Chains A and B, each alone.
Chain A
């Protein structure tokens, strides 16, 4: 019963992810012509890791935007992008990772490919899960701000050397459709495609390795999980600590102990599998309260 609910709700989540991608990347002409959208909506950030050089992108990636402001000559901090990140985080926390991130969807789909032995975590998980904070500090904040050229301009280190989302949604479609860009590819493009391939292969074996170990955006949103308006609560009266939630959780969280763990991407599998219905989101709780009041 619970497993069936997990499967059905999982399919619903994937449709939502796909629809969200379609809405935020609706400039279809860009894919055909190898161009990007140039409208003013690009001054706004979308919640997920959605490269602004994706031909269809109508908004900006918050991590790309943060680096763009930090590596410019005019600013040393970005109140604007921090405001977006804080706003999205305070509303949703990592619900964004589970439901609104295009690269999360890609990893979800890759994990559906059958493999001899799926593993929950990569070897060294205990230490690797802190890597995303190092990447956030070093590649997103410090290097773009500190390493500058003679006119005071830095560069987006995370986008340039790490981000596989940019390669997949921006690099490959643009290079495929644009002969001028094809002639400009070199060692860096090979490096980035290699990183994308490694991420893809690991995503078949283990669930969302990029989100678990690398993503700086997930690292930021994770901090908001305990205080976001969308949170999970565990009803102590109902919970029997049977462990069904941790067993189904592909992020390997002991939900009954830490329902608002920084690692939780709010996929909802734990809520759907719980035999006692002990795990609920704050939104569901509020809906339930208002329904009771209405009776």
Chain B
């Protein structure tokens, strides 16, 4: 019989840790001014995305 997967607590902590890490990564990204690059690309029509090149 196959093992039934049920691992709530251990996995929840992994999720919380990843969530914390994600916030940390976003802060690092903001400090490196990455959002400006994203914004610069996103506020102009992306010719590649729409198939014009």
Q: CB within 8 Å of B: which residues of A?
A: 36-40, 42-45, 51-53, 57, 60, 64-65, 68-69, 72, 74-75, 78-87, 89-91, 155-156, 159-160, 163, 166-167, 170-171, 174-175, 181, 184-186, 188-189, 191-193, 224, 226-229, 231, 233-236, 239, 241, 256-260, 282, 285
Contact = CB atoms under 8 A, between A and B. Distances in A.
Q: How large is the interface on B (under 10, 10 to 19, 20 to 34, 35 or more residues)?
A: 35 or more
Closest CB pairs A-B (n = 6): A80-B29, A83-B25, A83-B26, A87-B22, A171-B50, A192-B51
Contacts of A186: 52-53
Contacts of A229: 12, 15-16, 19
Contacts, number: 188
Given A229-B19, A233-B8, A193 B43 contact: no
Contact of B8 (A52, A68, A282): A282
Interface in B5-53: 5-6, 8, 11-12, 14-16, 18-19, 21-30, 32, 34-53
Given A87-B19, A166-B50, A227-B14, 10 more contacts: A38-B43, A52-B46, A68-B40, A78-B34, A86-B19, A166-B46, A170-B46, A171-B51, A193-B51, A236-B4
